[in-house]
Structure 1
Amino acid sequence: MIRYWLTPPVDPQREETIRTVCQVYHDAPALAKRGERTVSTDELTGVQALERKYPRLPLASGHVQRREFEYERHGTRCFILSRDVVTGKLLAPFCGPTRKEEDFLAHVQAVVATDPLVKRWHFVCDNLNIHQSEALVRWVAQISDFQQELGKKGEYGILALMPRRTAFLSDPTHKVVFHYTPKHSSWLNQIEIWLSILVRKLLTRSSFVSVEDLQAKVLAFIEYYNQTMAQPFKWTYQGKALTV
């Protein structure tokens, strides 16, 4: 038996960043009353469309669920999902074969388009490079009426380096503001809780005859969840140590 652990990278701002993300969740209801919305965003990649060779056995009292081991693999899909922190509903789910910066930008644009009257959007996400891309910076600058020169990626200006793009996208005066979790702290992102719901209630229990079937069932589950199950998560963590 092997048990793993992770030694986190040295980050003097880590604790402050954790407290900031927790504050974003705490402030979300008040911001919503002022016309601002807060969403938690992440990707679920490499989701396999697995078709079981034979039907699973019916559930029986006192027995674990039993199913056929063999399956046929029909391909994979990537889902990019955003969950409204206040309402608990999923907004503009994205499904496709790739997870590129243009895919993430298209999802963010679709989320923003769901409510044109919102004054400001807040996105909580991790530090994946596509969350800090050149295309995302240019779009945020455009919708925020940012008139200054953005520079050139890899050379100069805001676009030159990822830390500069991150700082720009985190600017609280913009129309769309990104709040980044510390590295190796994805548990701070509320969408991770919802993704575990999706995996437990649908993905591990279903058989999919194609990637189109996989996509249709996931989107149908999201629609059902939004109509019957959506509610805010009770976020109690405040950024303090969990042990003494």
Structure 2
Amino acid sequence: MRQVCQLYESAAELEAHQIHLVSTDEMTGIQALERLHPDQAMQPGQPRRLEFEYERHGTLSLIANWHVALGKVIAPSIGPTRKEFDFANHIAKTVETAPDDGWVFLLDQLNTHRSASLVRWVAVCCGIDSDLGVKGQSGILQSMETHTAFLSDPSHRIRFVYIPKHTS
């Protein structure tokens, strides 16, 4: 937890060195609802009446980044799923906003935040030309622990800091 607090405290200094500190999380299962009829306007002596019937259009997942130094949301993603591929694409889209800068992402320990897709993307983006191994068998791609160690490496221009379990 000390590392997380120190990062928040140093956000402005990091930003001065073109390193963006971003807190990232998801909200899943957001219902996409459409009211069937318009609300009725307020009349003298009566409040506005809100329509209660609606049509469901499925659910959406929001992945958002809070840029700590700037105090604003940057590069949010909204889509129908929250899978490994969706999260890796979200991170890529975020980094594209300042592709040559450093990035530190604060996030929880969800499996999609430590996926093989994310490891591969970080390796390419950071110019790490080493054998990553085989998913589930060897090398960096062997396990969640090896993924996490690689993604957390402070020598990488793009790195991830995972908050302790049960603290989000």
Q: TM-score, normalised by structure 2?
A: 0.88
Q: Secondary structure at the match of 1:95?
A: strand
Q: If each structure's strand is expressed as a fraction of its own residues, which one has the higher value?
A: 2
- CA distance in structure 2 between the partners assigned to 1:49 and 1:150 by the alignment: 40
Count of paired positions: 164
- CA distance in structure 2 between the partners assigned to 1:38 and 1:58 by the alignment: 45
Q: 2:161 aligns with which of 175, 179, 186?
A: 179
Instruction: State whether structure 2 residue 38 is matched by structure 1 residue 42.
Output: no
Q: 2:93 aligns with which of 99, 110, 125?
A: 110
Distance 1:147 1:90, change over 3 A: same
Partner of 1:226: none
Give the drift of 1:111. Answer: 0.7
CA RMSD in angstroms, aligned pairs only: 2.0
Give the drift of 1:71. Answer: 2.5
Partner of 2:12: 29
Partner of 1:89: 72
Distance 1:65 1:153, change over 3 A: farther
Give the drift of 1:57. Answer: 6.6
Q: If each structure's helix is expressed as a fraction of its own residues, which one has the higher value?
A: 1
- CA distance in structure 2 between the partners assigned to 1:77 and 1:45 by the alignment: 6
- Which 5+ residue runs of structure 1 have no aligned equivalent? 1-17, 187-244
Identical counterparts, % of pairs: 51
Give the drift of 1:65. Answer: 8.9
Q: TM-score, normalised by structure 1?
A: 0.62
What are the equivalent positions in structure 2 for 1:145-156 lying under 5 Å apart? 145-156=127-138
Give the drift of 1:85. Answer: 0.6
Distance 1:88 1:151, change over 3 A: same
Give the drift of 1:130. Answer: 0.8
The letter for the 1-side match of 2:164 is P
Distance 1:125 1:58, change over 3 A: farther
- CA distance in structure 1 between the partners assigned to 2:155 and 2:15 by the alignment: 16
Moved over 6 A (4+): none
Q: 1:98 aligns with which of 56, 60, 81?
A: 81
Distance 1:32 1:157, change over 3 A: same
- Which 5+ residue runs of structure 2 have no aligned equivalent? none
Task: Spell out, residue by residue over 1:156-214, the C-alpha distance to the aligned partner (whole angstroms, 9 max, x if none).
Answer: 1111110110011000110111011111211xxxxxxxxxxxxxxxxxxxxxxxxxxxx
